[in-house]
Structure 1
Amino acid sequence: MKRKFLGLALLAWIAGCSPKKEFTPEERQAYEASLNAWHTRRLEDVKAPDGWLNLVGLYWLEPGPNTFGSSEKNNIVFPSGKIAEHAGYFIVQDNRVILRADNNVTITVHGKPITTEQVVFHPDSSAIIVESGSLRWNIIRRDTKLAVRLRDLDSEATKSFAGIERYPVDPAFRVEAGFEKADSSRTIDITNIVGQTTAQRSPGTLVFDLLGKKHRLDVLEGNKDEFFVIFADVTSGNETYGGGRFVYVKKPVAGEAVYIDFNKAYNPPCVFTPYATCPLPPRQNALTVEVKAGEKNYSAGSHSGNATVSVH
């Protein structure tokens, strides 16, 4: 019990410590252990059924009927041997997507077979998951376009996954930052990897010193407790992914310091699959130093590292 209490106390100290203070060996050990546990959870998320390794297709839908199946004669061609040659069709109409399955093709939603037709997307619903064999898919919207996001729970990428290389843990890359709160109407333009640009709410800017320079990073809304940050740095396109990396930052609470822990910088989904639609760092979030912390580029597959972001 005493050892457990000591470990919790060390983690609590780490949460509020100044990065300029040297860690004792025990504090350093606790800090590394917390980051290793975070990284383990991260790997589990990537391999999970709703992770990124099993994405095997992204198919943009056209208005009206879109036939699908494993035959090349379809508008949307699913992987060979995974589904019937002619499985049915998606109908895009009035901002909804209806799936109509062919006879003798087993396709389910919530475990129940589709016997005639089923709405699989409408703007006010959460993701509707459709299944057939090892395939699982749902409809996503990007700007004004709709697409089928296809997963294969038996994908080779998931089976062969051996982890993500990362830099050694370095407390110097956990930095205290000031937060400049923005007007509630402030937005910044975010472009994704397929070239779509949208204005997204930005609550403010983090200001901090790193490697002898002052830097600024615009944040996006993340979740209830954290900001979401997309950034690039001088390692982008070399040791790390060319399309930048992501990091979450705890929102400021009265009386508490704000910290950016670049040891938790992680790869976007596009590192693992060409079928994701990742946001890219806005130009102002390109840091002019090497952030040798967090995840390095993922080398499996020829798609890795294709995107590039200038940091000058």
Structure 2
Amino acid sequence: MPPRLLRIFLLAGVLAAPAFAADPADYVQSVEQWRAGRLERLTRADGWLALIGRHPLEVGVWSVGSAPGNAIRLAAGPDQLGTVTRTGDNTLTFALADGVEAAIDGTTERTAPLATSSAGKPTYVRAGTVNFYILEQGGRYFLRVRDSESARRKNFAGLDNYPVDPKWRIEANWVPFATPRQLPITNVVGLTQDAACPGKAVFTLDGRTYELLPLQDSPDDDLFFILTDATAGEETYEASRFLYSAPPKDGKVVLDFNRLYNPPCAFTPFTTCPLPPKENVLPFRLTAGEKKYRDKP
């Protein structure tokens, strides 16, 4: 998993927990405030709920628009938005259709090159409430499309969490590896990439010892845990849940499971979320954090 992917999930998700509040009431309030921030980020106009498409982009010239007959048919937007071209050397350009009211990165250009997500700042094509950019992932290219007026965003049913319980804020021992290990991480569509794992968090619960392996780009970054437990598929999202923790300090890592949250795949089919490594499948019921999302009837 390339470093940029960890940044994507960090920016779109939530930050690691702040310092622990000694007063239980203050702690509960801090988690509730954190959850409110999580909800605000998730429901933004450019958030995961706005996604309406993820279209494979092979070499060739592809017409883009919402009308039938387009090679890439959008779920919303102009009938004819334009054409995207991908050459054999993966040069990408976009040409707006005649008369369409749209912009390429906010300019007046009608034809322009497209920078992909791997560039750090992709080129956005915008038409009204709809926009797209080129997602580069594992050597493949996709048109990722958003609509701030998407039905999924407008009809969002809210988040359901377990009650905050200080029991699930656990101080784990940090066991660093001599050098970071490359941990294979597979996503929901079967693509596997290696990611750096700097060590393991070891903790005891009800007399038993468990270990979790995090991902981390650099020593100053937060630890990123992808995990699941015995509630998965019934009370919580079946694929995984995410947790960020502050970097190790004095041989300790705080695992605040009250801040577990669902990956984007729990809300939309247009993402490719990472699955937990086998080491992070916990055998007990972790009744903390975010529950499975349930749409409105």
In structure 2, the CA distance between the partners of 1:42 and 1:71, relative to structure 1 (3 Å rule), is: same
Q: Which residue of 2 aligns with 1:102?
A: 97
The offset of 1:122, in angstroms, is: 7.4
| Aligned residues: CA RMSD | 2.0
Letter in 2 for 1:264: R
Q: Which blocks of at least 5 consecutive residues in structure 1 are unaligned?
A: 1-10, 18-26, 303-312
Q: Which residue of 2 aligns with 1:127?
A: 122
The offset of 1:219, in angstroms, is: 0.6
SS in 2 for 1:167: coil
The offset of 1:212, in angstroms, is: 3.2
- Contact 1:95–1:122 at 8 Å: present in 2 too? no
Q: Which residue of 1 aligns with 2:85?
A: 91
Name which one, 1 or 2, has greater alpha-carbon Rg: 1
Q: Which residue of 2 aligns with 1:73?
A: 69
In structure 2, the CA distance between the partners of 1:256 and 1:204, relative to structure 1 (3 Å rule), is: closer
Letter in 2 for 1:88: G
Matched pairs, number: 278
Deviation per CA, 1:226-285: give whole Å up to 9, x if none.
1000001001111000011000011112x3732100000000000110001101111111
What aligned pairs does 1:1-312 form with structure 2 within 5 A after superposition?
Answer: 14=20, 27-80=23-76, 82-84=77-79, 86-93=80-87, 94-121=89-116, 123-221=118-216, 224-253=220-249, 255=250, 257-300=252-295
Letter in 2 for 1:247: L
The offset of 1:301, in angstroms, is: 7.4
Q: Which blocks of at least 5 consecutive residues in structure 2 are unaligned?
A: 1-17
In structure 2, the CA distance between the partners of 1:301 and 1:187, relative to structure 1 (3 Å rule), is: farther
SS in 2 for 1:241: coil
Using structure 1 for the length normalisation, give the TM-score: 0.83
Q: Which residue of 2 aligns with 1:305?
A: none
The separation in 2 between residues aligned to 1:258 and 1:117, in whole angstroms, is 47
Letter in 1 for 2:211: R
Q: Percent identity?
A: 36
Letter in 2 for 1:92: R
The higher relative CO (CA closer than 8 Å, separation ≥ 6) is in 2
The separation in 2 between residues aligned to 1:125 and 1:294, in whole angstroms, is 31
The separation in 2 between residues aligned to 1:159 and 1:264, in whole angstroms, is 25
Q: Which residue of 2 aligns with 1:306?
A: none
The separation in 2 between residues aligned to 1:87 and 1:129, in whole angstroms, is 13
Q: Which has the larger displacement, 222-231 or 189-198?
A: 222-231
Using structure 2 for the length normalisation, give the TM-score: 0.87
The offset of 1:88, in angstroms, is: 1.6
- Contact 2:245–2:255 at 8 Å: present in 1 too? yes
The separation in 2 between residues aligned to 1:127 and 1:116, in whole angstroms, is 16
